[in-house]
Amino acid sequence: EIVLTQSPATLSLSPGERATLSCRASQSVSSYLAWYQQKPGQAPRLLIYDASNRATGIPARFSGSGSGTDFTLTISSLEPEDFAVYYCQQRSNWPHSITFGQGTRLEIK
Amino acid sequence: EVQLVESGGGLVQPGRSLRLSCAASGFTFDDYAMHWVRQAPGKGLEWVSGISWNSGSIGYADSVKGRFTISRDNAKNSLYLQMNSLRAEDTALYYCAKDTRLGGMGLYYFDYWGQGTLVTVSS
């Protein structure tokens, strides 16, 4: 099973600042990586898929990069609504398997 | 508008069974893979199982393999999860989620989610 490790566990920033979240895979996942945002009491929301493609309706301040084992989610200028928990997720074939990282909590400083 | 509505959760004793259902609408159900994802109280997300559009590809997390069975009925636009030999560690909010990819046999990402149904395993 591919393990995803996210860092940091908690990130404290102020609105307007740039946020950089990391996700590292235990083995290569090529570009098969997604990022989700989850707010309290809500279902997760897909932000980025295939490492760098923004999902429908996602603001341009969210961007993803990386391939292989190292990936980054960047929020260029934090808005108040961006403070939430972020998860990365990978998928693989044969056997069909999907795993999530443990999450990064982005909190207001 | 895509809607996913889960049902079937509740309180169940360890070792017993439960069947979850997910009613889908607002998209062509038999064009997409579907998934179950769970979240234990205060914890992170865990993918449980996924099934391709034609049930030809199925995957399970190691933690549920041999105990849970995913299925779908395309005529009824419904997804199911049969959960047997339930354990305390299966306690979680179970989400039904739609895959992003049209057709194919792979399982990819989740672009729409239901609100979840809570399963509590306790004596």
pLDDT digits (tens, 9 = 90+) for A13-41: 999 999 999 999 999 999 999 999 999 99
Q: Report CA torsion sign: B64, B35, B29, B4.
A: positive
pLDDT of A92: 87
* pLDDT tens-digit map of A38-96: 999 999 999 999 999 999 999 999 999 999 999 999 999 999 999 999 999 999 887 78
Interface test mutation site (partner B, options A5, A35, A93, A96, max chain B beta carbons within 10 A): A96
pLDDT of residue A109: 93
pLDDT for the residue A70: 98
pLDDT interval class at B104 (50, 70, 90): confident
What tokens appear for B83 in the block? 């959960």
A43 at interface of B, judged by CB pairs closer than 8 A: yes
Q: Are B27 and B94 in contact (CB under 8 A)?
A: no
State the amino acid at position A13 in one-letter form: L
CB-based contact B25:B96 (threshold 8 Å)? no
Name the DSSP letter for residue B86.
-
Q: What's the burial of A105, exposed, middle or buried (CB within 10 Å: 0-12/13-18/19+)?
A: middle
Q: What is the dihedral of CA B43, A91, B110, B87, to 10 degrees?
A: -40
Which residues of B fall within a CB distance of 8 Å from A36?
45, 110
Model confidence band, residue B106 (pLDDT cutoffs 50, 70, 90)? confident
Q: What is the pLDDT of residue B105?
A: 82
Q: Which of A5, A43, A66, A105 is nearest to B110 (CA)?
A: A43
Of B50, B100, B110, the CB nearest to A96: B50
- In this complex, the residue of B44, B114, B115 whose CB is nearest that of residue A100 is B44
Residue with tokens 């259902």: B21
Is a pLDDT exceeding 80 seen at residue A97? yes
